[in-house]
Amino acid sequence: MTWKCPQCHRSFRQVNQRHACGVGNPATLLKDRPPELVGLYRKLVATINGFGIVEVVTRNRYALFRTTRIFMDLTVMRDALRVVIHLGRRVSAPYFVKIGEGGKRVSHVALVRTDEDLGTIKPFLREAFNLAAGEES
């Protein structure tokens, strides 16, 4: 069961879920960033779109990726994408620079600067997506 906002037509898990209507302007997210970083962001989005239906909401340098639940969010830094992946378990690996536990999800922070970095986190992105998507029924 999901609720659809009559204003912006986005779907949420709770009736009258508080949110900022609309999904923001992705141009601000990548403004004045080097083309390599912009390219990396595009690849990341393409990867995630390959998993299934995903909504991207942006605000300034911040973007979140959700089904009806957020499974990943990121901040565009000067030379890297600071990606936070929300998993149902804790994964200790050197490429996760920070791990935070709060509630049911464990957030894993990775700094993505290259295609290799993106390849490394891809399985975890999919895992996080599957977890969020699976909770919808």
Residues that bind Zn ion (CB under 5 A): 5, 7-8, 21
Query: Token pair of 31, please?
Result: 């403004």
User: CA 126 to CA 37: how far, in whole Å?
Assistant: 21
Measured CA distances, 27 to 16, 94, 100 (Å): 28, 32, 29
Helix (H, G, I), strand (E, B) or coil at 133: helix
User: CA 29 to CA 102: how far, in whole Å?
Assistant: 27
Q: CB of residue 26 vs Zn ion: minimum separation in angstroms?
A: 18
Pick between residue 11 and residue 130 the one whose CB is nearest to Zn ion: 11
Q: CB of residue 6 vs Zn ion: minimum separation in angstroms?
A: 8
Q: CB of residue 7 vs Zn ion: minimum separation in angstroms?
A: 4
Pick between residue 21 and residue 93 the one whose CB is nearest to Zn ion: 21
Pick between residue 41 and residue 65 the one whose CB is nearest to Zn ion: 65
Instruction: Count the Cβ atoms, other than its own, within 10 Å of residue 127.
Output: 17
Pick between residue 8 and residue 93 the one whose CB is nearest to Zn ion: 8
Q: CB of residue 13 vs Zn ion: minimum separation in angstroms?
A: 14
Contact 99, 110 (CB under 8 A): no
